[in-house]
A and B are shown apart, each in its own frame.
Chain A
Amino acid sequence: MSAVTLDHDHHGEHHPSGLWRWVTTTNHKDIGTLYLLFSLLMFFIGGSFAMVIRAELFKPGMQLVDPVVFNEMTTMHALIMIFGAIMPAFVGLANWMIPIMIGAPDMALPRMNNWSFWILPFAFTLLIGTIFMPGGGPAGGWTMYPPLMLQTGTAFPFVIFAVHMMGISSVMGAINIVVTILNLRAPKMTLLKMPLFVWSWFITAYLLIAVMPVLAGAVTMLLTDKYFGTSFFSAAGGGDPVMFQHIFWFFGHPEVYIMILPAFGIVSEIIPTFSRKPLFGYESMVYAVASIAFLSFIVWAHHMFTVGMPLAGELFFMFTTMLIAVPTGVKVFNWTSTMWKGSISFETPMLFAVAFLFLFTIGGFSGVMCAMVPADFQYQDSYFVVAHFHYVLVTGAAFAIMGSVYYWLPKWTGHMYNEKLGKLHFWCSTIFVNVLFFPQHFLGLAGMPRRIPDYPVQFTDLNMLSSIGGFLFGASQLIFLYVVISTIRGGDKAPAKPWEGAKGLEWHLPSPPPYHSWTTPPDKEVWEHPYRD
């Protein structure tokens, strides 16, 4: 990691070198790098499970794996992508960028920061290790519904323990972010003068603190139901399997907003830069993120419309779910207005941000469709839902992450990435991700359920198309891997501000920034919010 240079500061501190540096680091840049590289590895592991899924679904009939192994693949694909790829990537970005963007020397709690990261490799070794245990890994879906989940064998306690560890990591990271933002902003930087990326993570951190313990409770109840004779989810003992779903989704819905709000923040940084125009409606954008976060607590049962809820419940959750489209739409309108009458150039980060705008909006449309309860009785547990959430998570969250990597790689490494390869990665990804997921809308409408390894022959053509898209999309990510590694290792020297229209504190630091940056907080003149008069 020669790109991040040691700073010979005044106190003569010694930083360890080699592997031990990475184990003991409390530096937000190092920890950010660790999170990002970890998430890249998990992205490829989770992606390879998806390749198994798409390979089996290429043709009708069972060609490759036993149905239980297929269910393991779908379960693990989701668990790894959600908890190992998307969330750690956003935390890595938070670690790298939040202190720099607010003029702070580091996160407020650097040692806890180190622990937050290092829990993750242990948690995922445990989780992925279950595949090699007798009986194999968990196969009840990432949603872990009982009673099915209680039929898991030896893997069960390891999965629960891994989930607990991931949760602890997330909560500690979130606390760190809140404390850092509230206490370490540069003088005179009031909250409504912070960059939107910082705002989006500030709100996301509160969501994490609120809901990760709920997940912990839910999986602990699963554990006691299996091993300690409780019957939270068993009717015979006075419990209810549907209660698990309520508890899980009370966590689960804010969780999906945890996975998208930082993406909104990233897009709000990239689009103004490449439009050479200030973000339209800064305050509205802040209020929109806050409204989305608040509303995210009262919509959870839209993941459960078919469980047999009373009519009043179904109506309530339909209305609140429809309502959450309003602040989300406001954000899309504001991003579009930012581009309107701008002066737009199409470097790779902007390509990803624009693709996000289009394709996340399509995911939003299918989401509004799912909100309509009568129609959802057809969509629920079908490929229509699979298409919806992959649009918002892959072309939404994942594209935003990729865009942010291209955007900030020059800053982190001091090298420009290869723009031609970046564009190639972008176009391949965008085209193939649509070949992969768009047909799935039609599969769901035509009656194909989800989480099945085999299907009736009328679904063959669209599945084959989707699988081809999947293989090519997966292969395209190797371009990304190459670009990231080669940019870390070398490339054209990056200036402090490689993007003409960029504003924000990070562009006032050299590329790469010193190991300890903003040891003296910047003056107001340096950071004065460029969008405020």
Chain B
Amino acid sequence: MGFHSIKNAARAALFAGLGLVAVTAHAAKSTDDAFWNMPEGVTPTSHDVYGIHMMVFWWCVGIGIVVFGAMIYSLVMFRHSKGAKPAQFHDSTTLEIAWTIAPVIILIAMAIPAAKTLVRMTDASDPEMSIKITGYQWKWQYDYLQDGFSFFSMLAASSDQASQLHSGIDPASVDHYLRDVDHPLVVPTGEKIRLLITSDDVIHSWWMPDFGGKTDGNPGFVNLTWIKVEEPGVYRGACAELCGRWHGFMPIVVVAKTPADYQAWVKAMKAANGKYVSPYDGSLEDVGSPVVFDTTNYNSMMGTPTGAAVPTGSNVSPPVAASPNAGAVGQAQNTNDSKPATAAAAPATPAKWDMQTAMDKGKQVYAQNCAACHMPDGTGNPEMGAPAFHTSAIANGPVAAHIQRVLKGKGAMPAWGNMLDDLSIAAVITFERNSFGNHKGDVVKPSDVAAAR
């Protein structure tokens, strides 16, 4: 290979490299149409963050061109095989000083905008509303502190099914595979929303690329951040701190609505009596966990004495200050003057409640909630303290004790009474007592569960 063609080759490589860099710099608005780069996002923070990212990126490209250029030049021009004679110089104090000071100056130039951005990003003062976000193994709980309701948000059933080992279902056939949930978080655009992030068990992290970043949820402590979503839309994120078996399976979906639409949704939620109102089409959702009209919910999870958390439209007690374990959760102000509807309690047992109905429903509840620890085949996980059902004294003993165990939990097992409604709990207990080698023949009624709370 001749001398000239190596130089040309190097030049070609440089341009190809720059081209790749330019393609890389192509920005996307949101993660849904992200290609090679971080999304610019839809909040002031996300724009700032994108700006810092691109600034440091271009600095690195520039420095890289100079440094790699010098390296490539040396490797090409000073080859032994081409007869190069080595010089013997081996130091220069001037150069050492120069290439110590120059990087320091460049770093200061980068540090100033970065520090300014950080100060802006961490200023959560004067929010217009607050939402508390609690990470669980393996779902999120969203608590609307002003409006007085909360609900759980977990991986959508379609994704859950397709993601099972050897499911045979092609993920490409599932809508928003692993980025879809049963109950999205709904927020208004244009308002500064303070987010209070914590966890019930292990460390989780709430990551929304379109909102500019993530904040860890540490159990027993509350972290503070804020968002102000500029455009209505659906935004998707994920848990970003290893939290156990289904860390990759607890995504986040946020539906941002105009303030008017948001208020309409809140009103519909309060009127829906425990059902979740879809932000997409307003339909009432009959599956998954209920909307709970009681922020004392949190206190009963932590074990501080409180009235039972009844899920269906009972009297709303005023929002209470956080339990001592919760850290600095601010007093939730009930600024919304329309009270949640206090409807008569919905019939505790639906018209048709037999073994088949209960088993069908119970199977679904089991797969979504219990299988993680008790295993899809009911054989349990002794390491975690989750017994197998066919040998379990509880599953084979009196129904009342089984109901209490599911309602109150024990050890690593959460108190499902705070997360599932009577119908779901009745169904799953029925399912457990008549599956996995058990044939108790019991059909547990939702009214039995309600009475046991």
* Residue in A closest to B55 when the chains form the complex, CB atoms: A372
Q: Are A323 and B118 in contact (CB under 8 A)?
A: no
Binds B, one of A58-66, A426-434, A510-518: A58-66
Binds B, one of A91-99, A187-195, A236-244: A236-244
Q: List the B side residues contacting A333 at CB < 8 Å.
A: 67, 95, 99
Q: Are A454 and B248 in contact (CB under 8 A)?
A: yes
Q: List the B side residues contacting A374 at CB < 8 Å.
A: 45, 48-49, 52, 114, 117-118, 121, 213
Q: List the B side residues contacting A342 at CB < 8 Å.
A: 74, 78, 84, 86-87
A336 in contact with B70 given A311-B118, A375-B52, A378-B49 (CB within 8 Å): yes
* Residue in B closest to A319 when the chains form the complex, CB atoms: B111
A343 in contact with B107 given A375-B56, A451-B247 (CB within 8 Å): no
Q: Are A280 and B90 in contact (CB under 8 A)?
A: yes
Q: List the B side residues contacting A306 at CB < 8 Å.
A: 205, 213-216, 240
A308 in contact with B90 given A61-B170, A322-B110, A378-B53 (CB within 8 Å): no
A41 within 8 A of B: no
Task: Identify which of B31, B86, B87 gathers the most chain A CB atoms within 10 Å of its CB.
Answer: B86
Q: Are A372 and B56 in contact (CB under 8 A)?
A: yes
* Residue in A closest to B71 when the chains form the complex, CB atoms: A336
A277 in contact with B213 given A154-B383, A447-B237, A451-B242 (CB within 8 Å): no
A455 within 8 A of B: yes
Q: Which of B80, B85, B177, B205 contacts A456 (CB 8 A)?
A: B177
Binds B, one of A357-365, A413-421, A475-483: A357-365
A377 within 8 A of B: yes
A340 within 8 A of B: yes
Which residues of A, 294-341, contact B by the 8 Å Cβ criterion? 306-308, 311, 314-315, 318-319, 322-323, 325-326, 329-330, 332-333, 336-337, 339-341
Q: Are A278 and B90 in contact (CB under 8 A)?
A: yes
Q: List the A side residues contacting B52 at CB < 8 Å.
A: 372, 374-375
7 example contacts (A-B, Cβ-Cβ < 8 A) are as follows A61-B169, A134-B383, A314-B122, A318-B114, A344-B84, A378-B49, A457-B172
Q: Are B37 and A344 in contact (CB under 8 A)?
A: no
Inter-chain CA distance A447–B33, complex, in Å, is 11
Q: Are B90 and A380 in contact (CB under 8 A)?
A: no
Q: List the A side residues contacting B224 at CB < 8 Å.
A: 308
Interface residues on B, range: 35 or more
Q: Which of A323, A344, A354, A442 contacts B78 (CB 8 A)?
A: A344
7 nearest A-B residue pairs (beta carbon): A235-B220, A377-B213, A452-B248, A153-B383, A135-B383, A308-B223, A278-B90
Inter-chain CA distance A344–B84, complex, in Å, is 8
A455 in contact with B325 given A148-B242, A531-B90 (CB within 8 Å): no
Q: Are A375 and B49 in contact (CB under 8 A)?
A: yes
* Residue in A closest to B38 when the chains form the complex, CB atoms: A445
Q: Are A151 and B202 in contact (CB under 8 A)?
A: yes
Inter-chain CA distance A341–B214, complex, in Å, is 48
Interface residues on A, range: 35 or more
Work out how many contacts link A and B, with CB atoms closer than 8 A.
Answer: 304
Q: List the B side residues contacting A284 at CB < 8 Å.
A: 91, 96
Against A, the Cβ 8 Å flags (1 = close, 0 = not) of B211-248 are 01111101111011000000000000111111111111
B125 within 8 A of A: no
Q: List the B side residues contacting A446 at CB < 8 Å.
A: 31, 34-38
Q: Which of B70, B117, B212, B218 contacts A307 (CB 8 A)?
A: B218
Task: Identify which of B87, B179, B325 gathers the most chain A CB atoms within 10 Å of its CB.
Answer: B87
Q: List the B side residues contacting A241 at CB < 8 Å.
A: 203, 218-220
Inter-chain CA distance A526–B77, complex, in Å, is 33
Q: Are A340 and B70 in contact (CB under 8 A)?
A: yes
Inter-chain CA distance A234–B201, complex, in Å, is 10
Q: List the A side residues contacting B14 at CB < 8 Å.
A: none
Q: Are B165 and A62 in contact (CB under 8 A)?
A: yes
Which residues of B, 129-169, contact A by the 8 Å Cβ criterion? 162-167, 169
* Residue in B closest to A326 when the chains form the complex, CB atoms: B103
Q: Are A277 and B87 in contact (CB under 8 A)?
A: yes
Inter-chain CA distance A17–B5, complex, in Å, is 58
Q: Are A382 and B240 in contact (CB under 8 A)?
A: yes
Q: Are B412 and A151 in contact (CB under 8 A)?
A: yes
Q: Are A332 and B383 in contact (CB under 8 A)?
A: no
Q: Which of B36, B171, B384 contacts A151 (CB 8 A)?
A: B384
A225 within 8 A of B: no
A277 in contact with B88 given A322-B111, A344-B79, A454-B178 (CB within 8 Å): yes
Q: Are B384 and A307 in contact (CB under 8 A)?
A: no
Against B, the Cβ 8 Å flags (1 = close, 0 = not) of A445-469 are 1110111111111100000000000
Task: Give chain A nearest CB distance to B106 CB in angstroms.
Answer: 9
Q: List the B side residues contacting A457 at CB < 8 Å.
A: 171-172, 177
Q: List the A side residues contacting B99 at CB < 8 Å.
A: 329-330, 333
Q: List the B side residues contacting A382 at CB < 8 Å.
A: 207, 240
Task: Identify which of A65, A339, A374 gathers the most chain B CB atoms within 10 Å of its CB.
Answer: A374
B264 within 8 A of A: no
* Residue in B closest to A280 when the chains form the complex, CB atoms: B90
B176 within 8 A of A: yes
Task: Give chain B nearest CB distance to A503 CB in angstroms.
Answer: 12
**Given A60-B172, A134-B383, 10 new contacts (CB under 8 A):** A146-B202, A284-B91, A306-B216, A311-B122, A322-B110, A329-B99, A343-B78, A372-B110, A378-B213, A454-B249
Inter-chain CA distance A352–B371, complex, in Å, is 49
A323 in contact with B107 given A61-B170, A148-B203, A318-B114 (CB within 8 Å): yes
Q: List the B side residues contacting A66 at CB < 8 Å.
A: 165, 245
Q: List the B side residues contacting A277 at CB < 8 Å.
A: 86-88, 90
* Residue in A closest to B164 when the chains form the complex, CB atoms: A62
Inter-chain CA distance A61–B75, complex, in Å, is 45
Q: List the A side residues contacting B381 at CB < 8 Å.
A: 135
Q: List the B side residues contacting A134 at CB < 8 Å.
A: 382-383
A140 within 8 A of B: yes
A276 within 8 A of B: yes
B437 within 8 A of A: no
Task: Give chain A nearest CB distance to B318 CB in angstroms.
Answer: 26
A522 within 8 A of B: no
Inter-chain CA distance A237–B249, complex, in Å, is 30
Q: List the A side residues contacting B382 at CB < 8 Å.
A: 134-135
Inter-chain CA distance A153–B96, complex, in Å, is 54
B15 within 8 A of A: no
Inter-chain CA distance A140–B137, complex, in Å, is 14
Q: List the B side residues contacting A447 at CB < 8 Å.
A: 31, 34, 39, 207, 209, 237-238
Task: Identify which of B35, B74, B166, B212 gathers the most chain A CB atoms within 10 Å of its CB.
Answer: B74
A373 within 8 A of B: yes
Task: Identify which of A148, A319, A447, A449 gathers the most chain B CB atoms within 10 Å of its CB.
Answer: A447
A67 within 8 A of B: yes
B81 within 8 A of A: yes
A178 within 8 A of B: no
Inter-chain CA distance A461–B170, complex, in Å, is 15
* Residue in B closest to A279 when the chains form the complex, CB atoms: B90
Which residues of B, 330-358, contact A by the 8 Å Cβ criterion? none
Inter-chain CA distance A134–B384, complex, in Å, is 11
A5 within 8 A of B: no
Q: Are A339 and B207 in contact (CB under 8 A)?
A: no
Q: Which of A63, A242, A283, A336 contacts B67 (CB 8 A)?
A: A336
* Residue in A closest to B81 when the chains form the complex, CB atoms: A345
Q: List the B side residues contacting A341 at CB < 8 Å.
A: 74, 78, 84, 86-87, 89
Q: List the A side residues contacting B56 at CB < 8 Å.
A: 368-369, 372, 375
